[in-house]
C-alpha cells in the first residue's frame, strides 16, 4: 500500500467514528424530548415546513443569547482612595491597576459588544499617575473608540485645572461626590482632608466645568448624618445637569460583615427616611433618586481586573475577566437587570454634544 494511503487511512477511520458518534448523540438528544429537558437560554421552536406549510410541523432548536448588551459600563479601575467615607461600597482591598494598554484592550472589546457610555470610577480615579491614567483612557474612549459618552465620578480633591486643559474636550460628564454642604458633616462622613474644604472645592470644579465645556453632575449618598439636611438652595445654585441621590447601601465584604474594611451599619437609613429626604427636594428638577432596590442590580460594574461584579446576593461576586473569556461570556454572570437599568433612567441624554447647556 502506498505511504500516502497509509496516512489517509487512520484519518478516514477517525472521521467516520466522529460522524457516527455525532449521529448517536443527536438521536439521544431527540429521544429525551418527551422529558421536556431544558437548559438556560435553550428553547425548542416549532416552525412549519417550507415544503408543506399546512402539513405536520417540524421542530428545530435555536440558541437564544441571554447576555445583556453592555450599553453603559462603570469601570472601577482602582480601589485606592484618599478619602475614608464610612459607607464606601468599593473599598481599597487591592492596589492593583491594569496596565494602560490592557485597559484599552478591554474597553475596545466592550465597544465592540455594544458599549455606548463608559464611566470611570474608583476608589479615586485621579490618584493613579495624578490623573494621567484616567485622562488617557478618557481621550482613548472619545477619540479612538468614538463613544457617545465618557464620564468620571470623583471626590474632586485631586483635580487640577491643567487636567481640564489637556483632557476636558474628551470628557462629557464629571460627577463630583458631595454628601453635605456642612463641612462638619463631611468630616463625620469621612470626606474631610486636612485644611481643604470639600464644599469650596466643589464650587471651583463647577466653574472649571463651565469654562472647559464639561457637563457637571453631583452624586450624594443619603445617610444618617445628612438625611435631615435641606440642600435645595445649594443644588439649585450649582445647577448640575443631574443630581444623583443614593440611599446608603450595605454590601457584604465591602462595608458590612467580618471581612469588610468599613462598618456602614451606623450610616443606614430606612426607606421612609429616604422618601422624606426626596420629598423635601421634590422641586429640584435635576434630582435623580436611587433607592437600594434600584441600585443593586441595575449597574454593570467592572472591577480593577475587568471582572463584572454581581451584587444580587448582597455582596460582590466576580465573573471571569473579559480579558480572559470575552465580554459575552463574562457578562452572563454580572447579575445585571437591564429592565431596572431602564426603569431607573439609566439611559438619558449623556453626550455633551446633545445637551443644551449654557456653558
Considering the candidates 88, 178, 209, 311, report the single residue annotated as catalytic. 88
Sketch the domain layout of the chain as residue ranges: 73-220+295-347
Considering the candidates 29, 85, 248, 286, report the single residue annotated as catalytic. 85
Q: How far is CA 8 from CA 11, 15, 214, 345, in A?
A: 5, 11, 67, 62
pLDDT in tens, the chain (359 residues): 444 444 444 444 444 444 444 434 433 333 333 333 333 333 333 333 333 344 444 343 444 456 899 999 999 999 999 999 999 988 888 999 999 999 999 999 999 999 999 999 999 999 999 999 999 999 999 999 999 999 999 999 999 999 999 999 999 999 999 999 999 999 999 987 777 799 999 999 999 999 999 999 999 999 999 999 999 999 999 999 999 999 999 888 888 888 888 888 999 999 999 999 999 999 999 999 998 877 777 889 999 999 999 988 888 899 999 999 999 999 999 988 888 888 888 888 899 999 977 65
Q: If one looks up domain 73-220+295-347 in CATH, what number appears?
A: 3.20.20.70
Considering the candidates 29, 81, 178, 286, report the single residue annotated as catalytic. 81
C-alpha cell at 245: 441621590
Global pTM reads: 0.80
CB 256 within 8 A of CB 91: no
| β-bridge pairing 317-321 and 72-76 | unpaired
3-state secondary structure the chain: CCHHHHHHHHHHHHHHHHHHHHHHHHHHHHHCHHHCCCCCCEEEEEEEECCEEEEEEEEEEEECCCCCCCCEEEEECCCCCCCCCCCCCCCCCCCCCCCHHHHHHHHHHHHHCCCCEEEEECCCHHHHHHHHHHHHHHHHHHHHCCCCEEEEEECCCCCCHHHHHHHHHHCCEEEEECCCCCHHHHHHHCCCECCECHHHHHHHHHHHHHHCCCEEEEEEEECCCCCCCCCHHHHHHHCCCEEEEEECCCCECCCECCCCCCCHHHHCCCHHHHHHHHHHCCCCCCEEEECHHHHHCCCCEECCCCEEEECCCCECEEEEEHHHHCHHHHHCCCCCCHHHHHHCCCCCCCCHHHCCCCC
Amino acid 23: pLDDT: 39
Handedness of CA 98, 102, 104, 106 (dihedral sign): negative
Catalytic annotation on 81? Answer: yes
List of residues 6+ apart from 36 with CB closer than 8 A: none
Q: Which residue has the cell 443644551?
A: 356
| β-bridge pairing 72-76 and 301-302 | parallel
Amino acid at each position: 500500500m502506498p505511504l500516502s494511503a497509509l496516512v489517509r487511512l487512520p484519518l478516514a477511520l477517525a472521521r467516520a467514528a466522529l460522524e457516527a458518534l455525532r449521529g448517536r448523540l443527536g438521536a439521544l438528544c431527540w429521544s429525551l424530548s418527551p422529558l421536556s429537558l431544558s437548559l438556560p437560554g435553550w428553547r425548542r421552536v416549532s416552525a412549519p415546513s417550507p415544503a408543506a406549510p399546512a402539513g405536520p410541523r417540524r421542530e428545530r432548536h435555536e440558541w437564544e443569547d441571554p447576555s445583556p448588551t453592555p450599553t453603559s459600563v462603570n469601570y472601577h479601575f482602582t480601589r485606592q482612595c484618599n478619602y475614608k467615607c464610612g459607607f464606601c461600597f468599593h473599598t481599597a482591598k487591592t492596589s492593583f491597576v491594569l496596565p494602560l494598554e490592557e485597559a484599552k484592550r478591554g474597553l475596545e472589546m466592550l465597544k465592540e459588544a455594544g458599549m455606548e457610555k463608559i464611566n470611570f470610577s474608583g476608589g479615586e480615579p485621579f490618584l493613579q499617575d495624578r490623573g494621567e491614567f484616567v485622562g488617557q483612557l478618557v481621550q482613548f474612549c472619545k477619540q479612538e473608540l468614538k463613544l457617545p459618552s465618557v464620564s468620571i465620578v470623583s471626590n474632586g480633591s485631586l483635580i487640577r485645572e491643567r487636567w481640564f486643559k489637556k483632557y476636558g474636550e474628551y470628557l462629557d460628564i464629571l460627577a463630583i461626590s458631595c454628601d453635605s454642604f456642612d463641612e462638619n458633616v463631611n468630616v463625620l462622613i469621612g470626606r474631610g482632608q486636612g485644611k481643604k474644604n470639600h464644599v469650596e472645592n466643589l464650587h471651583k470644579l463647577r466653574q472649571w466645568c463651565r469654562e472647559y465645556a464639561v457637563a457637571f453632575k453631583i452624586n450624594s449618598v443619603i445617610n444618617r448624618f445628612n438625611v435631615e439636611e435641606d440642600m435645595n438652595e445649594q443644588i439649585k445654585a450649582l445647577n448640575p445637569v443631574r443630581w444623583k441621590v443614593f440611599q446608603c447601601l450595605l454590601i457584604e465584604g465591602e462595608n458590612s460583615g467580618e471581612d469588610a474594611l468599613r462598618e456602614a451599619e451606623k450610616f443606614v437609613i430606612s426607606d421612609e427616611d429616604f422618601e422624606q429626604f426626596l420629598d423635601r427636594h421634590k422641586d429640584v428638577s435635576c434630582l435623580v433618586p436611587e433607592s437600594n432596590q434600584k441600585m443593586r442590580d441595575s449597574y454593570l460594574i467592572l472591577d480593577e481586573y475587568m471582572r463584572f461584579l454581581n451584587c444580587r446576593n448582597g455582596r460582590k461576586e466576580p465573573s471571569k475577566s473579559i480579558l480572559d473569556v470575552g465580554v459575552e461570556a463574562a457578562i452572563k454572570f454580572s447579575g445585571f437587570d437591564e429592565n431596572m437599568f431602564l426603569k431607573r433612567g439609566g439611559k438619558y441624554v449623556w453626550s455633551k454634544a446633545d445637551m443644551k447647556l449654557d456653558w
